[in-house]
Every structure is written in C-alpha cells, then in structure tokens.
Structure 1
Amino acid sequence: MLEEKNDNLLEADGNLENHSIETPLVEENAEIVSETIAEVEKETVLTPEVSVEDTIEMAKPIEEESTEVAEAKASETETIIDAIAENNAEESEDETLKERHDIPMLDYDALSLESLVDELKKLVTNEKVMSVKDHVEEIKKSFLAKYNHLLEEKKEEFLAENPDTTEEFAYHSPLKSHFDQYYSLFRDNKNAHFKSLQTNLKTNLENRLAIVEELKELINPQENIKDTLKHFNDLRERWKNAGSIPKDKYNHVWNNYHFHVENFYDYLHLDREARDLDFKHNLEQKQKIVARVEELVNEADVNKAFRELQDLHKIWKEDIGPVSREFRDEIWNKFSDLTKQMHDKREVLFEKMRGTELENLEKKKEIIAKIEVLATEKVNAHSQWLQQIEKVEALRTAFFSAGKVPAELNEETWATFKTAVRNFNSFKNSFYKDIKKDQNNNLNRKTALVAKAKELQESTDFATTTPIMKQIQEEWKQIGHVPRKYSDKIWIEFKDACNHYFDKLKEQKNEENSEEIEAFDKKKAYLETLREFQLTGVHKTDLDAIKLHIETWKGFGKVPFTRRHIEGKFNKVLDALFEKLSLSKKDSEMMRFSNRMDQLSESNDTRKLEGEKIFLMRKIDEIKNEIFQLENNIQFFTNTRNAKKENSIVLEVRKNIEKHKEEMEILKDKLRQVRSLNQS
C-alpha cells in the first residue's frame, strides 16, 4: 500500500531502525501519471463489512488446505492471530495498557495485609491508573479475602469470650481504613481517566469515519489528478494522527480505511515500476519482521518475546502495505507459522507454570492437613494452647507463602483452608469457654475479698485487723485468673484498699517508734547512772532503792525491737546488785523473773509469755517426777533391816527432795505470775 511510513521496525539483529518510504504518490512525481485517466471501471465503490482475514491479504491463502489436519492447523493459527489482534485493539484504545507489561505482577496471596496496603499505595500514587488496573484488582481480591478471614476469627473470639452478650460485634482496623483510602483514590482516578478517554475516543472515531468518507469521494474522474493526490496524502497524514478509537470499532474502521485506500490505488492505474517499488519495500519490511520473530522464538524471556510479537503484528497490519501477489501467501504463512511457534512455546511455559502451581497446591494441601490435625489435638493448659496457636500461625504464614495454585482450584483451596482454621479456632474456643467458667468463679471470690478489704481499710484496731488483712492478701494470691476485661479494674480496687490500710498502720508505727526511741535514749542514760549506784549496807534501804530503780526503768516504756538488747544490760546490773544485797535465792530469783515478765508484758509479746508458761508447766512436771522417784528410792531403803539407821545415801536423797520442792514452789510462783499477766 502506498503510504508514507516511519515504522520504527526492529532490525533482524534486534535494533530499532527508522524506515522512511518515498512514495511515488506525490505532486513532484505526477509526471508518471497519464494525462488521461482511464474510465472508472466501477462508478460506485461499496464499503463492505470486512473482516481481518479479508483485509490482511495474507491471512487467507489462495489455495485451501485439502486435509482435515491442515484445516485444523489453519484454524488454530487463525485463532491465535485473532487473539493477538483483539489484544492489539484493546491496547490501541488505551495506550496506557501497554505499560502494565513492564510492572511485575507479584504473588499477592503470599503478602501480609500490611504489605498489600503498602503495595497498593505504591502503585496508586506512582503509576498510571490503567497500567496497574489488573494489579490493583488482584491486591483487592487478596486483601479482602484475608481481612474477611481475620474478621471471622475476631468474631469467633468475641463470641467465645462473651457467650451471653447482647452487644453487637464490631472490629476496626487502621489497615482497612488505609486500604479503603488508596482504593478510593484508584477508583476516582480510573473514573476520571475513562471519562476523558471516552470523550477522546468518540471524537477520534468521528474523525476517522470522516476520513473514510472523504476517501470514497476521491475516485472522481472530473478532478485534477494533482489535486487528488495532494488530497490523498493529506488524508493519510490525518489518519496517522487521528488518535485512539473504541476497540470494538477498531477492526471495522481500519478495514474500511484500507479497503478504500486500495481502491484508490487501483483506480489510479499507476505504472508498474512505481507499484513494484512500493511492493518491494513492503516485502523488505515484512521480511525484517519475520527475521525478528525468528530471533524471538529463541528468546529466553518468553513473555517479553510474546509482547514484542504483538507489537510486530500491529506494525504488520497498520504500518506496512501489501506485497505483490506472488509473495503474499509465502510471507504471511511464514509469519503465521512463527507466530504459532511462539504461541506453542508460551503454552509450554504456561504448562510449566501450571506444574509449579500444582506443586504449590500439594504444599497447601499438606499445610491444611496439619491444621486439621491440630484441630483435633486436645490440650488442657493455657501454655500448651499458646504453643498450638503459634503452630497454626506458622502454618498460616507458610500457606500464604506457598505461591499460586491453578486458578480453577483457588477458591476451593482457600475455602478448605478457612474451614480448617475455623475448626481449630472453634476447638480452641471450647477450651477457653470452660476456663471462662472458672474465671467467673474466681471473679466472684476476688470481688468478695475486695469488699472485705474495703470494709477493713479504715480500721484503727491494728492488732486485730493486721493479721486479717495479711490473710486476705494470701487468699488473693491463691485464687486463679479472672476474665481479662475485669482483671485490671478489680486488682486496682483491691490494691488501693490494702495500701490504704497499711499506709495508716505505717503512720501509726512511725508515731510509736518515735516514742520508743525516746524511751531507749532515757534508758541508756539511766543505765549509766545505775552503774554508779552504791549500796548503803542497810538491807531494807538498799532493797527499796533497787525496787525504785526497777519501777523507774519500767516507767520509761518500750524500746524499739532492734534495740531491746538494753534490757539485758539492765538485768545484768540488777543481778550484780542482788548478789551484793545477799537476798534469799527465792527472793532474788523472783525479783529478776518479775522484772523480765514485766518487760515482756510491756512489749505485748504474747508469744514469749505463752512460751514461758509452757516451759514452767513442763518444768514443774519434771520436778514432780523427780520427787516421786526420789521418794520411791527412800521407801526402798526404809523397808530394809537397817531402816532405823539412815545412812548417808538416804540423807542425801532427802536433801535432794527438799531442794526440788523449793525449786517447784518457785516455779509455781512464777507460773501464777505469768498466768496473771496473760489474764490481764
């Protein structure tokens, strides 16, 4: 076909080359046209509805294949070429669709929710809207599937924790908000793009149809040939710059345009030399395309090669005119055969990919089977369930990372996976429902302790209340977990009540400690003066003085527990004074004992007083037994022949009996004194 061309065809070595054909249909070459235009063979030129096979002259060989195999092969090749033509028509409508080939389609099923949102943001903000259309829809599909699955899990957990609630389940995620934000931006951009595109497509279609109508009118024997040629070249230039049209109109409009161009070409009856020159150039261009396709058949990146093949088909169809009839079938058949080879190679790649997808399917089935096993393994401890949950999470991650499965099995695999995870969650939740009952019981027990602690927190009877508060705290420790939503609240209430009481106890002790420290200082100073005390030698006077010192010492009060050693020092000084005073053993011991018991009574040390009482009772029983044994021994000696004469052994035994009786009387006096202190 005689057109000016700037084809940017790929050379056989893969490099781009600009080809510019000098057409004979220009005014400067008009001399080659005969001055007299032959009669027009056809007065009226029809505009038939022409298919791709009709207008691409090489699409249909002159001679039909005679065998069924050949017919099937030709049909398959035509189907492949039709598919390429359809795709080119779509890209011709919107040039941005070409750019999507350069943006890799990731395995979005393997990405996390966070990564999907990040990927969506990157595509929507950095790429043209139609070049990422398929990518965004795949992201949307993966995101919603995973997010809906997450919602189901959260709802099951909510219902498990609140079986009797009337509250409506609600779950909000910042990730979903971010996803909605970026997807809305994509949708707005797409709508704006389509609105602009539709307006342009409509205008461009009207312009191209007008060009076709003008081509029809060029066949006019009354018009000057020079003017006709100039008009024809103008129409071709306008056609080249007319822009995109709707893909459903693409083939029909293009076929009509080329039909009328060829009619005009035939109408002119150009000389054979000029026509053959154009045929030769077109043949060279198509031979270069064939050579490039031969290289593409051996290209390692099959998808990239096939995309270039689509572009070459578009150039063959739109930019290069016809060749002479003798080469027409040959060059087209070669191009068609290479196209089929490329398609077959691509199908092999798809089969290999399908094999990988089937392997991924088996991996996912194994993962699902493991989750199903975990959904039947009964464990009875929270720590064990945490391990089970961790295993399922690892299997979930492995599932999403396993890669794509065959498209026709994707929904089924996903549904099976969701069912397995849902069954595990139901199994897990049934365990926690039982725990929930125990936690509610624990909540009731702890609530009762809180009430008790609040009731006692203002008490000033510290001696009675402190042991009770400590017992409450021990009980609290023994009670297990409560429902999580009540845990913090009830603990704060209990802690505040206990802290309030023990803070008051601490304040009271601080006040007491100041008094005790003051008593210690007084006793320390008094002890120094007592060391210098000298007896007068008058027994009664000295005894009264010692008793006065004891009363004065008691009057100072209690000392801090950590400084009670000063009481021992005071007792040592008293012992020395009693020895000098030459009191009877009983009087001396009773005064010392009385002083020591008074000290225990003042310190409110009931434990030591009780211990002293038990010690005295045991000691009295021991002495009683000793006396009984000694008296039995004497009786043995008095029944013998020498009973009238008591020997030294008998006399010694009688002395021991008297000694034990005296000691027992002292112990009984001490016991009476201790009992009187306990009663007071």
Structure 2
Amino acid sequence: MSTMTEESTSLPAENQEQTQITENFATEEKIVEIPSLDLPANKSDLLGFFEKIKSIASESKTAADFKKIEEAIKDARQLFVNLRSEEKTAALAKFKEENENAEEGFNFKGDEIDQKIENVLGSIREIRQSFFQTLEKQKEKVLEGKTRLLDELRKLVDADENSDPAHVNASFKAFKKIQEEWKSLGNILGPQNQTFWESYHALVDRFFSNRSIFFELLELDRKKNLQAKDIIASKLEALAKKVNEGPLPKLLKEAEELFEEYKHIGPAHKEINEALWLRVKKALDVLFAEKRQIQEAQKAVFEENLKIKKELNDLMAHHARFVSSSISEWNQASKAVLALQEQWGKLKGGVPREAGKDVSHQFWANLKTFFKNKSEFFNKIDAERKANLAAKQGLIDQVKTLTESENAADNTQAVIELQKKWKDIGHVPEKQKDSIYKQFKEACDVFFNQIREKSKGAKDAEFEGNLTAKKGIIEELKSMLSDPSLLASLKAKKEAWDAIGFVPKKNLKEIQDEFRNTWNQVIDLAKTQPKEQLAAWGFELKGLPSESKQEERKPVSGDARKKIQTLENEIATLRNNLEFFAKSKNADKLIAEVEKKIASAEKELGKLRG
C-alpha cells in the first residue's frame, strides 16, 4: 500500500498547480460592507451600530467576515467602555457628595441602554463562537471523511486486478461514488488540504492507469471531461476580459466557483488537457494580477491613512499633556480635542494592521488622559467653590446672629467688616451664586432696617417730648394774659421756645398757630401797659423778635426737618449697600464715589442740625 507521501511524488505538474491556485482562492478575504460609526457618538448611536453589526454577523459565512467584524467593533466597544466609565465616575462622585464622601454601598448598574448594548455584544460573541465551532466541526468532518475516502480509494486501486465485467462495473461505480462524496465534502481548511489533494489525484490517476479494461469507458469519460473543461476555460477567459469592468471581488468569486468545478472534473487526453490547463491558468493569472495591483494600491492608501492618524495622534498627545488653571483655556482645549476626535472618525479606509492597532491604542489613551486631567481640574475647582460657599454661608449666619443681638446698633461696624470679608472670598458653584448672594444681601438689609427702625422710634419719642415742652411754654404765655407782671420773663420764654427741637409733623401746624396767636395776644397786652409799669416789671418791648421773622423761620424749619430725615435715610442706605458695589469690575471707583456722597450728606446734615 502506498503512503500519501509516495502517492504525491507522482502527482502531475497540473495537479500541483491546481492545489496552489486553490490556496490562492482560500486566502482571498471576502469583503463585507461594515457601516461607519459617526463620531462623536452617544450610547444610543453605539446601540444602533452594534445592532447593525449583529445583523451582518448573522449573515456572515467566512472567517474573514468575522475578522472584519471584530476589527469594526473594537474601537466602538472601547468608546462604550469609556462612556460607561465616565458615567460611573460621575455617579460615584454624586453618591459620595450625598453620602459624606463615603463609597460604601455604591453600586453602579448603568441604564437600560447599557444592558441592551451588553446583550447585543453577547449575541455577536455567541454568533461568532457558534460559527467557529461549526467551522471546526466541519473541518473535522471533512478531514475524517476524506481520510476514509482515500483509504477506500486506495483499497479500490490496490484490489483492481480482477477483469471480471461485473467486478469492473462495480469497481467503477464504487469509484464514482467516492469521487462524488469527495467533491461534496469540499476543501480542508489548513495546510493538510494540499497533501490530501495530492494523494487523491495520484490515486485517481492510478485508478484509470491501471484499468486497461476501461479504456473505452475512460475515452468516453475523458471526452466528456474535455467538453466540460473547455466550457469552464471559456468562461474563465470571459471573466479575464472583464477584469477592468469590475467589480473584481465578484469576478474572483465567479472564477473560484468555476475553478472548484474544474478541479472535480476528471482528466482529458494529456495533450489537450495541458492546453486546457494553460488556458485556465492564463485567465486566472490575469485576475490574480489585477488583485495584486489593487492590493498594492490599497496598501498605499493604508500607508497614507496611517500617516494622517499618526499626525492626529501627535496632536492628541500634545493635549494629553495640557495643563492650565483657566476654565476658558480648558474649554478651548476640549473643543480642539473633540475636533481631532471628529477628524479621526471621519477618516475612511483601513490602515496596516499592526501599526494601525498601535496608533489607535495611543490615540484613545491620549484622549482618555486629556479628559481625565480635565475632570481632575474641574473637581478641584468644584471643591474650592464648595469651600467658598460654606465660608459665605458662615458670614450669613454671623450677620443673622448680630441682628438678633440686644445691642444690634453697636454691631454696625462688625457687619461692615463681614461685608468686606464677603468681597474677599472667591467664586461659589454657579447654580448657587445668585441665591447665596441674595441671602447675604437680605440678611444685611434686615440688620440695617432694624437699626433704622430703632433710630426712628427714639426720634419719635424725642419729638413727642418737644411737643409737650412747647405746649408748656404756650400755657405759660397764656398765664401772662391774666397776670401782666409775668411779662418780665417773655424774652426768656421765647428763647426757650426756639431752643426746643422738632415736634411730630402732624402737630407742627397746630402748635405753630397756637403759639403765634398766643404770642400776638401777649405782645398786644404789653403795648397797653404803662411804660413805667413795664419798666418796674423789667419788661422791654424793644429787642423782642418780631412774629413776622418767626413766621418766616418756621416753614424753613419744617423743610429742614424733612431734609434731615431724607439725608438720614440716604446715608443709612448708602452705608448698608456700600460693600455690594464690590461685585462690579470698577469696584474701587464706585466705592470712592459712594463714600464721597456719604461725607457730603453728613456735612449737610450737620449744618441743618446746627
């Protein structure tokens, strides 16, 4: 019995070349159309992308298809991991913020889209696993079947020495059965395929060579083989003429199917068989030459894509080292990084496998580093602003405490100092900026309003006392009408009247009218008294202020009182709000102007009170 190695040594050159061409077809990668993922992408975009990939995977028939699919989802899967990681980080930060910075009990499950993506990715893995398991089983089945068929064919050839017609007929039927089953099994994936084909062709040649009794049958069979091979050769030549019309993958697929059929046709006459083979080989060479040319052109495109991706990665690496203390500069850098990411996503076409894998890994690592650094920067800013918020809340509490004090009036300077401290504290979180300022302003307003209310109460009491004093003087003047001897004190009573301050506004006209009427009556009385009597009483009409002058002064005093109240309110308001002008960009200038207004108002107030 001959071994596989011994049988392959007698294999004709045509059969060896057929095996090589089979390998050429076997190594041809089937091109599947993979949808592109537009960047930047959110999780909903990723879910849609993975579902399309799942649909493609379900229809895929070759290992090359699944390899292409795996390459297509790699970056998208990493992007999903990055997005999920960012969400987890944000969720943890929020959890810690709500749980006094504790991580215990934190459990991040993601959302419904996360679960859907995981399920789709799991389905893709199951489809791929099932495909390769089936492929491995098919390989084992083909290997086992072809090993068995070679053993059967070898036994058939070795035992083919009986020239009995019944045996010859049975032997040929057995050979045809082996031949059909061999064809139905297909090729073995791997290096063993060539060895099996070499042994098969060697045994087939021995089968026909050793059976002289079958010459007539062989002749008929070879004529049929000749006709079948000629048809296939013509079809391959027609495909070769269409090489520039394309598409090439479709032409190669048709050529492969024709060549598979050609391999399973038995031999024709040797001379004609060689000529047919040259025709087939020449047609296939044209197709393979075009394939190599396209691959070379594709290689140049891949190299150019790699160059561009390296340039984008260099720019991304620069941003990965970015450092700044400015929020606006970080935001500008983020826009630049997202623009690079968009450029990366829009770059179509492949790259050399290993080099492309490395540069892609570096690019996404640099992108992740940038956003990690940005996150750390803003976390630091947030921490500082939260501390500032706590400090400002403390100032609000202090103002409220001073307001509740029994000696609130003595705390005015302390509140002003707190307003200065407020100005020196930095920014707070944006969403609390307006509310915390409003709380502080309201607390200060309450304090100063309380001071003003207490001051107003004291003045009201003073004015009531003045009213009582003036009523007393009027009564004393009325006493003079019944006792003229009291006229000696008239001048003193007038001076006492003028020395008394303001009275409540509601009583002003009434008290003035009563005084004027009484005064005029007293003067009229004095004019009727003898001069000697007046002298005896020590009364001198000369030198007493005229009522007309008094009447002219009183309205002015009423206006002055109103002006004094207005100035007092204005000064209190200016002092109360002085520190709040510090929020303006021109703080120093505004403060100086306000202080100048306060000084001017106090000066005018002093004149009115004097």
Interval of TM-score (by shorter of Structure 1 and Structure 2): 0.5 to 0.7
The equivalent residue for 2:72 is: 139
Which segment is superposed worse, 390-399 or 201-210? 201-210
**SS of residue matched to 1:298:** coil
Contact 2:320 2:369 in 1 (8 A): yes
Q: Which amino acid aligns with 1:363?
A: I
**Structural RMSD (CA):** 5.9
- Equivalent of 1:335 in 275, 280, 283: 280
Query: Unaligned stretches of 5+ in structure 1?
Result: 1-44, 61-76, 89-99, 517-538, 544-556, 559-566, 620-669, 672-680
- Equivalent of 1:292 in 233, 238, 250: 238
CA deviation profile, 1:490-512 (whole Å, cap 9, x unmatched): 997x589769969999999xx99
Contact 2:225 2:267 in 1 (8 A): yes
Q: Give, in whole Å, the separation in 2 of the partners of 1:237 and 1:336.
A: 25
Q: Give, in whole Å, the separation in 1 of the partners of 2:19 and 2:134.
A: 33
The equivalent residue for 1:58 is: 14
- Equivalent of 2:327 in 363, 382, 393: 382
Question: How far is the alpha carbon of 1:453 from its aligned partner?
Answer: 5.3
**SS of residue matched to 2:253:** helix
- Correspondence list, 1:47-126, <5 A: 48-49=4-5, 58-59=14-15, 81=21, 83-84=23-24, 86-87=26-27, 101=30, 103-105=32-34, 112=41, 114=43, 115=45, 117-125=47-55
The equivalent residue for 1:185 is: 123
Aligned residues: 493
Q: Give, in whole Å, the separation in 2 of the partners of 1:50 and 1:119.
A: 54
CA deviation profile, 1:558-590 (whole Å, cap 9, x unmatched): 9xxxxxxxx69x867887887777752466567
Q: Which amino acid aligns with 1:337?
A: K
The equivalent residue for 2:471 is: none
CA separation of 1:608/1:596 partners in 2, compared to 1, >3 Å: closer, same or farther? farther
- Equivalent of 1:405 in 330, 343, 351: 351
Q: Which amino acid aligns with 2:68?
A: H
Q: Give, in whole Å, the separation in 2 of the partners of 1:488 and 1:343.
A: 68
Contact 1:358 1:405 in 2 (8 A): yes
CA deviation profile, 1:145-177 (whole Å, cap 9, x unmatched): 55677799999999xxx9xx9989999876776
- Equivalent of 2:263 in 277, 297, 317: 317
CA separation of 1:454/1:302 partners in 2, compared to 1, >3 Å: closer, same or farther? farther
Q: Which amino acid aligns with 2:49?
A: E
CA separation of 1:347/1:226 partners in 2, compared to 1, >3 Å: closer, same or farther? closer
Contact 2:35 2:52 in 1 (8 A): no
The equivalent residue for 2:214 is: 269
- Correspondence list, 1:478-497, <5 A: 479-482=425-428
Q: Give, in whole Å, the separation in 2 of the partners of 1:571 and 1:395.
A: 81
Q: Give, in whole Å, the separation in 2 of the partners of 1:190 and 1:273.
A: 48
The equivalent residue for 2:226 is: 280
CA separation of 1:304/1:204 partners in 2, compared to 1, >3 Å: closer, same or farther? closer
Question: How far is the alpha carbon of 1:345 from its aligned partner?
Answer: 1.9
Q: Which amino acid aligns with 1:128?
A: S
CA separation of 1:419/1:295 partners in 2, compared to 1, >3 Å: closer, same or farther? same
**SS of residue matched to 2:426:** coil
Q: Give, in whole Å, the separation in 2 of the partners of 1:457 and 1:615.
A: 30
- Equivalent of 1:362 in 302, 307, 330: 307
Contact 2:15 2:201 in 1 (8 A): no
Contact 1:120 1:136 in 2 (8 A): no
Q: Give, in whole Å, the separation in 2 of the partners of 1:612 and 1:113.
A: 64
**SS of residue matched to 2:226:** helix
Q: Which amino acid aligns with 2:124?
A: F
- Equivalent of 2:295 in 350, 366, 388: 350
The equivalent residue for 2:535 is: none
Query: Unaligned stretches of 5+ in structure 2?
Result: 458-476, 482-502, 521-546, 573-597
Contact 1:375 1:423 in 2 (8 A): yes
Q: Give, in whole Å, the separation in 2 of the partners of 1:279 and 1:395.
A: 62
**SS of residue matched to 1:299:** coil
Q: Give, in whole Å, the separation in 1 of the partners of 2:53 and 2:361.
A: 29
CA separation of 1:464/1:84 partners in 2, compared to 1, >3 Å: closer, same or farther? farther
The equivalent residue for 1:22 is: none
Q: Give, in whole Å, the separation in 1 of the partners of 2:602 and 2:174.
A: 137
Q: What is the identity percentage for the equivalent residue pairs of Structure 1 and Structure 2?
A: 20
CA separation of 1:383/1:572 partners in 2, compared to 1, >3 Å: closer, same or farther? farther
Which segment is superposed worse, 191-200 or 396-405? 191-200
Q: Give, in whole Å, the separation in 1 of the partners of 2:314 and 2:371.
A: 15
In the superposition, the TM-score normalised over structure 2's length comes to: 0.60
Contact 1:108 1:139 in 2 (8 A): no
**SS of residue matched to 2:120:** helix
Q: Give, in whole Å, the separation in 1 of the partners of 2:171 and 2:2.
A: 20
CA deviation profile, 1:250-279 (whole Å, cap 9, x unmatched): 444555455444444442423175244224
CA deviation profile, 1:459-510 (whole Å, cap 9, x unmatched): 799888899889867865763334x6xx768997x589769969999999xx
**SS of residue matched to 2:215:** coil
**SS of residue matched to 2:335:** helix
- Equivalent of 2:248 in 287, 294, 302: 302
Q: Give, in whole Å, the separation in 1 of the partners of 2:31 and 2:310.
A: 33
Q: Give, in whole Å, the separation in 1 of the partners of 2:189 and 2:262.
A: 20
- Correspondence list, 1:462-541, <5 A: 476=422, 479-482=425-428, 540=478
Question: How far is the alpha carbon of 1:373 from its aligned partner?
Answer: 5.9
**SS of residue matched to 2:49:** helix
Contact 2:399 2:447 in 1 (8 A): no
CA deviation profile, 1:371-416 (whole Å, cap 9, x unmatched): 5666788766322331122112212321343343333432443465
Q: Give, in whole Å, the separation in 2 of the partners of 1:365 and 1:391.
A: 17
**SS of residue matched to 2:233:** helix
Contact 2:402 2:411 in 1 (8 A): yes
**SS of residue matched to 1:101:** coil
CA separation of 1:212/1:466 partners in 2, compared to 1, >3 Å: closer, same or farther? farther
Which segment is superposed worse, 107-116 or 386-395? 107-116
Q: Give, in whole Å, the separation in 2 of the partners of 1:460 and 1:307.
A: 99
Question: How far is the alpha carbon of 1:325 from its aligned partner?
Answer: 0.5
Q: Give, in whole Å, the separation in 2 of the partners of 1:225 and 1:137.
A: 54
Contact 1:205 1:245 in 2 (8 A): yes
Q: Give, in whole Å, the separation in 2 of the partners of 1:253 and 1:419.
A: 48
CA separation of 1:205/1:354 partners in 2, compared to 1, >3 Å: closer, same or farther? closer
CA deviation profile, 1:182-227 (whole Å, cap 9, x unmatched): 2222222333444455555545554554444444337354544444
CA deviation profile, 1:268-319 (whole Å, cap 9, x unmatched): 423175244224323323322432342343333233333333333322223x
CA deviation profile, 1:220-246 (whole Å, cap 9, x unmatched): 545444444555555555555557866
The equivalent residue for 2:579 is: none
